[in-house]
Amino acid sequence: MNPRDNEELIKNTQVVQQVDPLFGAQTESPLTRDTLLRLAAGTLGAIRIPDMLSAQACARLTGRLDQTEFSTYDERRIWPPIAKFGPAVYDYYLDGELRPEYWTDARKAEQQWARAVGDDDPMEALIGQLAAAWGGPVTRATVGGQKLFAGMVRELKGDPRMHFDEVVREFPGVFDHTPIAQLGFNCYISLPEDGGELNVFRRRWRPTDDADRVGFGWSQTIAVQEPSLTLTPVLGEGILFDTRNYHFITPSTVGRRLTLAFFVGVTAENRLIVWA
């Protein structure tokens, strides 16, 4: 189409409907199914749920975690190292299936977690709030009928590189129940004195983006023109967002940014599945 044709089209179009990017953040407590569906549908950028854990519960959990051994993501894939408690599916995927040692590490982490938290399990409390909002089953994701680990604790110092998480694209056909949308949940149990913001772009991965890949992430230049959110977390707050959108954490230098984190998959069977 030549420029003159464009000019004619513009001149003769009397009404041009503006399109809202629908990428805001909504704060609500308690969480509701309608808001979860809007996030999954892409008509909301993030959900903030205040006071999912009390300040006392956060302090109690971080104190217990001080006595718990942390590891890192596979440093061949993610560098600089990121400290975490619990296995990530991402580290064990090989040739279309999970490596067998995943299951040993998952059961070991569950036992360590149970010893650390005792009968007062914050992970179960958080999943209970999610289930109450959804009004349907919320279960661990499974592979070959075996339950995946959920409830990872991560200590992120931030990285300006963007990345995305999408299990059906990264590990196709592995899960027993295929999620049609993937959300990320973080409950903030310790916060740094500087930085630590969650930044989310209304932009998903495209194959041509790999020209701007930097290690495990991508340069922000490919999303600089897109609508975005910058969320400064509050202690005890839960934040949900669509992890298929590019996102990154603002680097911090003072204090610890600890989150109790898991993915949430929305399935066609009205089931939410969770995993790490």
Give the mean pLDDT of the chain.
94
Beta-carbon contacts of residue 129 (< 8 Å; ≥ 6 apart):
30, 31, 49, 52, 238
Higher pLDDT residue, 276 or 3? 276
Q: Which fold has domain 22-275?
A: Jelly Rolls (2.60.120)
Does residue 116 surpass a pLDDT of 70?
yes
Max Cα–Cα distance, the chain, nearest Å: 72
User: Mean pLDDT throughout 240-258?
Assistant: 97
Q: Residue 152 pLDDT more than 90?
A: yes
* Cα within 13 Å of Cα(92), Cβ side: 19
The arithmetic mean of pLDDT across residues 166-176, rounded, is 93
Domain ranges of the chain: 22-275
Of 108, 111, 112, 89, which is closest to residue 99 (Cα–Cα)? 89
d(CA 222, CA 226): 9
Q: What is the pLDDT of residues 184-216, one digit of tens each?
A: 999 999 999 999 999 999 999 999 999 999 999
Mean pLDDT of 97-104: 94
Determine the pLDDT at residue 63: 94
Q: Tell me the residue length of the chain.
A: 276
Q: Where are the alpha helices (H) located in the chain, listed in sequence order?
A: 3-12, 33-41, 55-65, 101-117, 122-134, 167-170
Q: Check whether 25 has a pLDDT greater than 90.
A: yes
1 confidence band (pLDDT: 50, 70, 90)? low
Return all residues near 204 (Cβ < 8 A) that are at least 6 apart.
164, 244, 245, 246
Cβ neighbours of residue 80 closer than 8 Å, sequence gap 6 or more:
159
pLDDT at 3 over 70: no
